[in-house]
Amino acid sequence: MPHAAVSRLCPRLCLAALLLCSLVLPAQAQRLTPDTPDLAPRERIRLDTGWRFHKGDPEPAAARLIYDVRPEVTQSADGKVADARPDEAVQTQSREGVLKPWILPTANPFIGDPAKRHLRPASHPGAELAVMRPDFDDSAWQAVTLPHDWAAAGPFLPTGPYGGMGRLQTWGPVWYRRALDIPATDAGKSLYLDVDGAMAYATVWLNGKLVGGWPYGYNSWRVDLTPYAEPGKSNQLAIRLDNPPESARWYPGAGLYRHVWLTKTAPVQIGHWGTVVRTPEVSADKARLTMEVTITNRGSQAARAQVETEFFALGSNGQPQGPAVARIRFATVQLAASAEQTLKGEATVLKPRLWGPLPQQQPHRYVGITRVRQGGQVVDRDETRFGIREVRFDPQQGLLVNGQHVRIQGVNNHHDLGALGAAFNLRAAERQLELLQGIGVNAIRLSHNPPAPELLELTDRMGLLVINEIFDSWELKKTPLDFHLVFPDWSEPDLRAMLRRDRNHPSVVLWSVGNEVGEQYTGERGAVVARRLVQIVREEDPTRPTTTAMNFAKPSMPLPAEVDVIGLNYQGEGIRQEPEFEGTDRIRTPPQYQPFRTRFPGKAVVSTETASAFSSRGVYLFPVSTASTSITRDGRGGDSKARQVSSYELHAVDFGSSADKVFAAQDRHPFVAGEFVWTGFDHLGEPTPYYDSRSSYCGIFDLAGFAKDRAYLYQARWRPELPMAHLLPHWTWPERVGQVTPVHAFTSGDEAELFLNGRSLGRKKMGAFEYRLRWDEVVYEPGELKLVAYRKGQPWATDTVRTAGPAAQLRVSVDRTELRADGQDLAFVTVQVTDAQGQPVPRADNRLQFSLEGPGEIVATDNGDATDLEAFPSLTRKAFSGQALAILRTRAGQAGALRVQVQAVGLGATSASLRSSLR
């Protein structure tokens, strides 16, 4: 079948440097276990603690340590229309003394053509600075623990530009210092600093020697510390970051916001991201595995080594279980000094447990444990987690996983974690995915950059499909100082780095090489760039198809022909087709699903972005549109003074549409593989349409993780088997007595009857291409609204909303009561303002005070209100639409009881108890 139609792990292999014979032993011939002792395995030490942080350059001379000259910013891009055409780059001239020549060699392992690799200058800029010396006094610097996003604590910027970047200052130079104890026993070992993500333009020094760095803030990368380390001493590590202003269209985060690691290996070692497992043949009876292992000799002498991989099933606890299911013994490898070779082998797994997305399938996983031996002694050991599955994008049916059709029910997500900023936290990310799965989400598009590596561990384990995306811009710019500045030098290494890091994750089913790039407008010039990027993907991973998310390119243009799967942003439903946009210079596009299918009959089509609908949780504005979708303006779902958008869920950005319109367009074109809604969660920055706010309005869940009404609309579609009914709006409107107050219902039933104070207001049935039931002439009177939903004539589900009395008390709940005392685990504490009878008060905005007793801390509070500019660490927070959130974190190594208390003037106090334990 053509490449564009098929994606597996994996149908064919790239030929690497050397193909060696392998010996495959069936699992039944042995009783291997994962517990074989290793005498000298690699060490991977997480460097989360012991850091000192300083905002700004600590001495004037440090200010010259810049990566390269940047263009002068004469006009802010803040508030620029989200689908505005990107601009040509502003040309600058590098000057002598910039760090670019010293940083570029870090990319060499990811540059395919050896002739294009970079030669490092011999000197060490910055070595003379006091900040590099071990005796430099940094006691006044802030002690921090990684992951660390220094900008998330605020304060918010109440005026001026940078609403697009979340009204949080993420720019300017910052420094991190840490002593690195390297014992004398590490002499002769290879030592690496592995950085999962640093925002941005990172430069690393060890003992005053410039080691290397990486400009792109979202990628993971490695620098080799070995030449500069002094075993037996305390070594001084210093890292400078220099994130630019005007560098993003959303909140990029700041600092060492992901984990940093020290990796130690013997000179003969498995290469960085040097293993890949593929499954080119998969059936219920057996699966054929192929594996590549890159072995590197960092020593000064030739070496001989034996390499073996044992494969085990992973248990529900993420640990290998049972005997090995297969083993590959590679032929002995002979390595010259400073050389590397790629070994290849095959094995068969009988009766494999397949990986597939929930709930249709199960996300079973395996692990390959690879050992390198010299003279019978294990000198390196690494684990490769993977899944056995077959994935195929079919032009007619959409996505097939293990031969079964899977409709993509996806969302886009930015990388911030709400009030925690961009600092990655496993539990916070897991909570987001749990909430999304609860409404039926089965896929995530990573917008618009590589994620923290742990996020893909979560999607693998939780059975979520993933589009992994690398860039938001190529050579043309969306903001004055975004990635376009380094694209010519870094697009290849950044793309290869992402592919090598993530290609073993079974959840990744599609690689996206760009999002709404300006090269859509440049004809063949843009297609040349796309062709180069797609070729890199095929070199690194010939098993998954490519896409790019297109909001402008049409079927007749060159760019769509270069990718394997057609990814459309908003074009499927049509963009700005309302008469009021005629004659404007904005993108106006009629529905494009069928035109793309006609032009590319051999390619599958997926909506990489849909909807971009707006709403503020719990806010309802009148009058209510009679249409199924509408743009957002004052009097049309929006209130520019309050900076809120109605939760009737009918309003969207100008180029977007309501969920209802998207559902209808997809149902009329069943060949479309599915959709990725913009977005799963509100995210920091990009606060269209009100750039004085801090966060977006387009999430199905708000920034605090509270469900908007729209969540029930999507749940009704994505979980039709689940009995559910949901009424809106709330029914506490003392100022609307006698006024028309429309009532809408979202349900997985097919009809429903509405009652107001016991009187039937009529029974309605869902029509063709209708996804909600509407009673638009209801006249408000206090009391009780009740909905009784039916399915196929039988009672299905009910929902009731009642008029609330005055705010009288608080109700608190926590997502988990048993926590790990590891300094990372979190509990999310929800506070609801209620009346004396316990009925939620839907418009309560009381100021709440949080406190905590026990071995933990409240690290942030929030309420989901995009207009709230109170700093996230504040222990006081106004309720928004009756709710607020506190995020509690444990202390490392300190177990014990925790009690979180919340109080408000006139409402008393309430509390919840938790426990942190060492486990």
Residue 609 bears catalytic tag: yes
Q: Compute and round to an integer the Cα radius of gyration of the chain.
A: 28
> 393 to each of 7, 546, 740, how far by Cα in Å?
7, 11, 48
To which H or E segment does residue 467 belong? strand 465-469
Go through 364-400 and write b for each residue having 16 or more CB atoms within 10 A of its CB, e for each that does not: bbbbbbbbbbbeeebbbbbebbbbbbbbbbbbeebbb
Helix intervals (H) in 398-510: 426-438, 453-462, 487-502
Q: Are 714 and 658 in contact (CB under 8 A)?
A: no
Placement of tokens 């009395």 in the chain: 805
Placement of tokens 């992973």 in the chain: 314
3-state DSSP call for residue 108? Answer: helix
Report the relative pairing of strands 443-446 and 408-413 from DSSP bridges: parallel
Q: Are 502 and 468 in contact (CB under 8 A)?
A: yes
Rounded distance between C-alpha atoms, residue 756 and residue 784, angstroms: 6
Rounded distance between C-alpha atoms, residue 658 and residue 193, angstroms: 46
Phi and psi torsions of 502, nearest 5°: -110, 0
Q: What is the 3-state secondary structure (H, E, C) of 863-915?
A: CCCCCCCCCCCCCEEECECCEEEEEEEECCCCCEEEEEEEEECCCEEEEEEEE
Rounded distance between C-alpha atoms, residue 788 and residue 566, angstroms: 42
Q: At what angle are helices 426-438 and 453-462 packed, to 10 degrees?
A: 40
Rounded distance between C-alpha atoms, residue 138 and residue 54, angstroms: 9
Residue 246 bears catalytic tag: no
Q: What is the 3-state secondary structure (H, E, C) of 731-763?
A: CCCHHHCCCECCEEEEECCCEEEEEECCEEEEE
User: Hey, CA dihedral for 137, 139, 140, 145, is it positive or negative?
Assistant: positive
Nearest to 270 by CA among 347, 320, 338, 341: 341
3-state DSSP call for residue 677? Answer: strand
Q: Are 334 and 20 in contact (CB under 8 A)?
A: no
Rounded distance between C-alpha atoms, residue 616 and residue 645, angstroms: 5
Active-site residue, from 310, 390, 609, 649? 609
Question: What does the DSSP 8-state code read for residue 332?
Answer: P
Active-site residue, from 310, 340, 475, 516? 516
520 Rama sector, left if φ>0, alpha if ψ -120 to 50, beta otherwise: alpha
3-state DSSP call for residue 433? Answer: helix
Rounded distance between C-alpha atoms, residue 6 and residue 400, angstroms: 10
To which H or E segment does residue 847 belong? strand 847-853
Q: Are 556 and 19 in contact (CB under 8 A)?
A: no
Q: Are 467 and 502 in contact (CB under 8 A)?
A: no
3-state DSSP call for residue 279? Answer: strand
To which H or E segment does residue 429 belong? helix 426-438
User: Hey, CA dihedral for 394, 398, 399, 405, is it positive or negative?
Assistant: negative
Nearest to 666 by CA among 748, 767, 567, 591: 591
Cis peptide before 17 (omega within 30 of 0): no
Active centre residues (catalytic): 516, 609
